[in-house]
Amino acid sequence: PNQLTLSQLGGDERRVDSRTIYVGHRSCPANEAFIPPKFCDNRIVSSKYTVWNFLPKNLFEQFRRIANFYFLIIFLVQVIVDTPTSPVTSGLPLFFVITVTAIKQGYEDWLRHKADNEVNKYPVTVLEDGRRIRKESEKIKVGDVVEVEENETFPCDLILLQSSRDDDTCFVTTASLDGESNHKTHYTVPDTEKDLESLNATIECEQPQPDLYKFVGRMHIYKNNQEPAVRSLGPENLLLKGATLKNTQKICGVAVYTGMETKMALNYQGKSQKRSAVEKSINAFLLVYLCILVSKALVCTTLKYVWQSKPGQDEPWYNEKTQREKDTNLYLKMFTDFLSFMVLFNFIIPVSMYVTVEMQKFLGSFFITWDKDFFDPEIKEGALVNTSDLNEELGQVEYIFTDKTGTLTQNNMEFIECCIDGFQYKYRDASSELDGFCVTDGPVNKLQQKAGREREELFLRALCLCHTVQVKEPTEGFIASSPDEVALVKGAMRYGFTFLGLERKTMKILNRNNDVEMYELLHVLNFDPVRRRMSVIVRAISGDTLLFCKGADSSIFPRVRQEEVERIRMHVERNATEGYRTLCVAYKYLSAEEYAQADAGLREARLALQDREQKLMAVYNQVETGMSLIGATAVEDRLQEEAAETMEALQGAGMKVWVLTGDKMETAKSTCYACRLFQRNTELLELTVRTLEDGGRKREERLHELLLEYHKKAVQDAPPVKAAVTRSWSLTNQDYGFIIDGATLSMVLNESNESNSSRYKNLFLQICQNCTAVLCCRMAPLQKAQIVKMVKNSKGCPITLSIGDGANDVSMILEAHVGIGIKGKEGRQAVRNSDYAIPKLKHLKKLLLAHGHLYYVRIAHLVQYFFYKNLCFILPQFLYQFFCGYSQQPLYDAAYLTMYNICFTSMPILAYSLLEQHICMEVLLDNATLYREIAKNAMLRWGPFLYWTLLGVFHGLLFFFGVRYLFSNPALQDNGQVFGNWSYGTIVFTVLVFTVTLKLALDTRHWTWINHFVIWGSLAFYVFFSFFWGGIIWPFLRQQRLYFVFANMLSSVSAWLVIILLILLSLLPEILLVVFRKPRGPHARQKLSQSSAGGLQSPRSSARPLLMRTFSDESNTVI
């Protein structure tokens, strides 16, 4: 075959988009020159380092961070230049940070190595020349025939060649890949030889790609010089590495993708890093502090040289310069002086802040996983934190994008009713109506005529045949990828038609007369979200070939005879407004030639290597025409527990909820009403295909007109945004809800006219931003991401959150600032790609309102406090330069400089940032409006930053000058002895440590024993350390500067008095502020909750039963 030679000529197989595999490495007769192609080996390498490159690589990675690099530079300056503080003061913390990080990363990498080895060294059986050889998994090469036994995981991606089961199938679970624990059936390649030894075949397949559910390939089988037979290969033939073989004794398969090219490995490549808004704030503050640092150093350097220019100041006789100093160039001296000042003041940007922030995030995220409220007894799992970097972002969410099915609703389908030929059949679960079907419910329907028995049975057969449901083997039950199908099959069962299972391409049905009917399954025309329908082609015993098709009304109606439509449409629409999911069922007889044509088309399309999807789609569309409509079904998808309460709380918290769903508008709308996203008084602005086609004019014109109209209504006539925020939850304000569908959205977004496009986009965004809820229906997964991206990049860069449970939500989960996965029924892709995963929608409320709020407050306070405490730490040192001839004399001892951030003041803030609950969780949950208080990064804006900075400056000035005036007479002891410069520094430092710690104590609203322990413990430790440090002549110190300084200080009454005075004076404004500020205590909150309860109660009472409301809601819509 041409393609084979092509790939061989290519040499480098990467250049071609398919690969060729020689099963069992046997050259095939068609190709005399057999060159074994090179593929990667089957080693999984998830580790980053080896023993050899760990140190350089890890150090390089760490110093790539700006902060670490900055500290390294400071350290190097200290080593090279004669600086006031020894290199140890900044080297030690840096070394500590680097070592801890390296150990952590090294440990993690070691774990990865261990896991890799476990996989790579796992023994596998490979068939080579008829012998079974045990090998280590990593030695498998592409083309090897591998044998796998029951309950083993597949060592690489295999094409199933042989199964021990009679029907040439095998069962696997992909729990470790996508979390779906149901058994999936995979098929052997049809018509391969039983004797694998003599099998002579090549496989041609696409290059590795990460999509777990896509695979195209074909197999050429060579038999005794005959023309090679070609078989198509699809995902049903491919066994993925990581999946487990179940219910099958053993299988043999040929390796197609190995090692890092397996789909599992391709899927585990890291997600892009999301950065939180807090981190951006930190960086901005850091810049400010860097400016402060540089300007301080510049001021000092300049003043130093101005001061020195006065005669006698530069070099008084008592302080002669060394010869080297005299010889040094003036400008070089200036530069080194500048660097020295930088080093002296560098503590203003502390290494430890990064460590503390990281620790806070890492440790803090445990509280989410530990929260038992997130534990769901059904799935026996709690919440999952995939990244701890975004904890505080949970407190900043402005937009929530939610999926409908499985997220707002349970995805737990129940068959409600059906209609056949326009007659309604409502199932009653009453045992009295054993006769079930023909005797339908209620007096209303008694009056109605029934469809003929023949039609009824045809409809039920259609329900029984048109699906991809499997019968679970051990127990009675059905497994399917879509819960709708299970509901339909179960529904049919209630009416007497039971699906018994699929065996060897034969579907068995137990009909009402307890006879088994057999149908040969010829083709399955799979469901896809674009077509929104699926079909089967079956052949009955009688020989008739039938096509059954079911799908969304919009996709079925155009494909059936129009006169049938009207009878059914009414039912479908009524069901949809009631919030049910509706499907239409159609069928047609295929004549022999029609079938032959369809069969040929399908087979051809399935064999195509390129554009297989499109080709299949074309054939499907061709086959599914001219059908006749039999009826429609209505399936109820129940709302998630507390969905409405959750949505209401989130809206009360000022978040805008957008529902993005693939479902149809009516269903989605009623779900929105049920979830109280739309209220009775909500005015709905609709922008859908229906409204566009109303005026009878061109769609584009109508779109333009509607957009302007809505814009006027929702944006221009609405009160200004600020007022709207406070009023949107009061009843007097007009709420707007916006509805748009996928088709219209793409018209808005992909307007051909450039200028119109951006204008429409803006209009659309503005309208949406002024609506309390937005519903986007009929969305493709990519459109969901598009919307998220659009909002994310809109003015003000609002923080977005996406929540979903299915694979179709992954794109929006990845796109949003925070992605939340629901551990739902549709597999685990959403969970895997999310930042946080929770079992149920209702948990979102606590996650955001309680955890998010607290995390944000904690980390914001942490950041501000860190900057504050280092500002008032370094400011006295800066001021001291004015009194020591700008000689870079440190005010504090080196030990204090080093330990300040590491030991004396780090633990209380860490404990605070982990435990603080300025408002207790229950109150936060009860009063969603509290969430608004921290909206828009309220605690990390420039205002609060300025406040903290001024506070730091105030404290720094107070500490320095307070002690300065005390030292106007340095005889502070009652024995007349005088204190020196280290006593000065120690007094300032003591005041400093006590003040910053007590300031934190003042801010702490939630004193657990840990807070007590850490705050009082830190202070005690400081006192103890100071005694200890000054109590011993330390042999390793060059100068015993602090020897007995602290003890002597404590023996002075004046020192005591000034310390007490300065601490109190520093905290006095804080205390006053606390008193005069709004009440913050728990009692006050309770009062607040009582008063606001009245406000919240009224909309709640307006939530009438769903059905009653749906009639009135039409009157609320504009169109």
Partner 1 sequence: MVKQEQELDNRPDNTAFTQQRLPAWQPMLSAGIVIPGFVLIGLAFIGIGIALFVTSRSIQVLEIDYTGVAQDSPCYRCSDPDTKDCMCSMDFSIDTLFKGPVFFYYGLTNYFQNYRRYGASKDANQLSGDLKYFTNPSSDCSPYQYDNDKPIVPCGSIANSMFNDTFKLYQIVNGTRKQVPLDGKGIAWWTDYNVKYRNPSVTPLENAFNGTVKPVFWSRPAYKLDPTDPANNGFINQDFLVWMRRAALPNFRKLYRRITEGDYAEGLPAGNYTLEIAYNYPVLSFDGEKKVVFSNVSWMGGKNEFLGIAYLVIGSLCIVMSIVMLIVYAKFKFPEED
| Minimum gap (Å) between residue 374 Cβ and partner 1 | 8
* CA 306 and chain centroid, separation: 57
| Minimum gap (Å) between residue 183 Cβ and partner 1 | 17
Distance (Å, whole) CA 688 – CA 711: 16
Contact characters 426-465, partner 1, x per CB under 8 A: ----------------------------------------
Show contacts with partner 1 in window 896-915 (CB under 8 A): 915
∠ CA 308-309-315, rounded to 5°: 50
| Minimum gap (Å) between residue 1035 Cβ and partner 1 | 10
Q: Could you give the angle at which helices 981-1003 and 1009-1031 cross, rounded to 10 degrees? A: 170
Q: Are 296 and 242 in contact (CB under 8 A)?
A: no
Distance (Å, whole) CA 938 – CA 654: 14
- CA distances, 638 to each of 485, 647, 820 (Å): 16, 16, 21
Contact characters 378-397, partner 1, x per CB under 8 A: --xxx---------------
Place of tokens 């700008």: 886
Among 258, 424, 440, 917, binds partner 1 (CB under 8 A): 917
- Report whether 405 belongs to an annotated binding site: yes
Q: Are 430 and 441 in contact (CB under 8 A)?
A: no
- Report whether 404 belongs to an annotated binding site: yes
- Report whether 1008 belongs to an annotated binding site: no
For residue 93, what is the enclosing H or E element? helix 87-120
Nearest alpha-carbon partner for 818 in 271, 274, 272, 273: 274
Among 40, 334, 780, 921, binds partner 1 (CB under 8 A): 921
For residue 159, what is the enclosing H or E element? strand 157-163
- Report whether 527 belongs to an annotated binding site: yes
Nearest alpha-carbon partner for 686 in 669, 667, 673, 663: 669
| Phi, psi dihedrals of residue 550, rounded to the nearest 5° | -135, 150
Distance (Å, whole) CA 823 – CA 895: 51
Nearest alpha-carbon partner for 504 in 487, 483, 518, 490: 518
Among 529, 695, 1079, 1095, binds partner 1 (CB under 8 A): 1079
Interaction of residue 969 with partner 1, rule CB under 8 A:
yes
Is the CB of 100 or the CB of 1074 nearer to partner 1? 1074
| Minimum gap (Å) between residue 387 Cβ and partner 1 | 19
Interaction of residue 1058 with partner 1, rule CB under 8 A:
yes
Among 144, 157, 204, 371, binds partner 1 (CB under 8 A): 371
Interaction of residue 181 with partner 1, rule CB under 8 A:
no
Distance (Å, whole) CA 841 – CA 801: 13
Interaction of residue 1053 with partner 1, rule CB under 8 A:
yes
| Minimum gap (Å) between residue 823 Cβ and partner 1 | 12
Q: Are 119 and 214 in contact (CB under 8 A)?
A: no
Interaction of residue 1071 with partner 1, rule CB under 8 A:
yes
Among 76, 1074, 1093, 1107, binds partner 1 (CB under 8 A): 1074
| Phi, psi dihedrals of residue 154, rounded to the nearest 5° | -75, 130
Among 3, 555, 733, 981, binds partner 1 (CB under 8 A): 981
- Report whether 661 belongs to an annotated binding site: yes
Is the CB of 327 or the CB of 754 nearer to partner 1? 327
Quick check: is 403 catalytic?
yes
Indicate the pairing of strand 516-528 with strand 506-510: antiparallel
Is the CB of 867 or the CB of 1029 nearer to partner 1? 1029
- Report whether 663 belongs to an annotated binding site: yes
Is the CB of 521 or the CB of 921 nearer to partner 1? 921
Show contacts with partner 1 in window 50-89 (CB under 8 A): 84
- The residue annotated as part of the active site, out of 403, 421, 735, 893, is 403
Show contacts with partner 1 in window 264-323 (CB under 8 A): 312-313, 316-323
Torsion angle of C-alpha atoms 770, 773, 779, 785, degrees rounded to 10: 70
Among 36, 123, 477, 1081, binds partner 1 (CB under 8 A): 1081
Who contacts 698 (Cβ-Cβ below 8 Å, separation ≥6)? none
| Phi, psi dihedrals of residue 777, rounded to the nearest 5° | -110, 170
- Residues contacting partner 1: total by CB under 8 A: 92
Contact characters 871-890, partner 1, x per CB under 8 A: ------------xxx-xxxx
- Report whether 702 belongs to an annotated binding site: no
Q: Are 682 and 772 in contact (CB under 8 A)?
A: yes
Interaction of residue 975 with partner 1, rule CB under 8 A:
yes
Interaction of residue 477 with partner 1, rule CB under 8 A:
no
Stretch that binds partner 1, among 363-371, 456-464, 521-529, 603-611 (CB under 8 A): 363-371
Q: Are 1030 and 962 in contact (CB under 8 A)?
A: no
Interaction of residue 333 with partner 1, rule CB under 8 A:
no
Show contacts with partner 1 in window 983-1012 (CB under 8 A): 983-985, 1004-1011
| Minimum gap (Å) between residue 342 Cβ and partner 1 | 15
| Minimum gap (Å) between residue 346 Cβ and partner 1 | 16
Sign (positive/negative) of CA torsion 667, 669, 674, 680?
A: negative
Show contacts with partner 1 in window 818-857 (CB under 8 A): none
Interaction of residue 936 with partner 1, rule CB under 8 A:
no
Interaction of residue 976 with partner 1, rule CB under 8 A:
yes
Interaction of residue 375 with partner 1, rule CB under 8 A:
yes
- Report whether 754 belongs to an annotated binding site: no
Three-state DSSP string of 911-978: HHHHHCCCCCHHHHHHCHHHHHHHCCCHHHCHHHHHHHHHHHHHHHHHHHHHHHHHCCCCECCCCCCE
Which residues belong to the annotated binding site for ATP?
Answer: 403-405, 485, 527, 550, 581, 661-663, 778, 784, 808-809
* Residues tagged active-site: 403
Write out the binding residues for Mg(2+): 403, 405, 805, 809
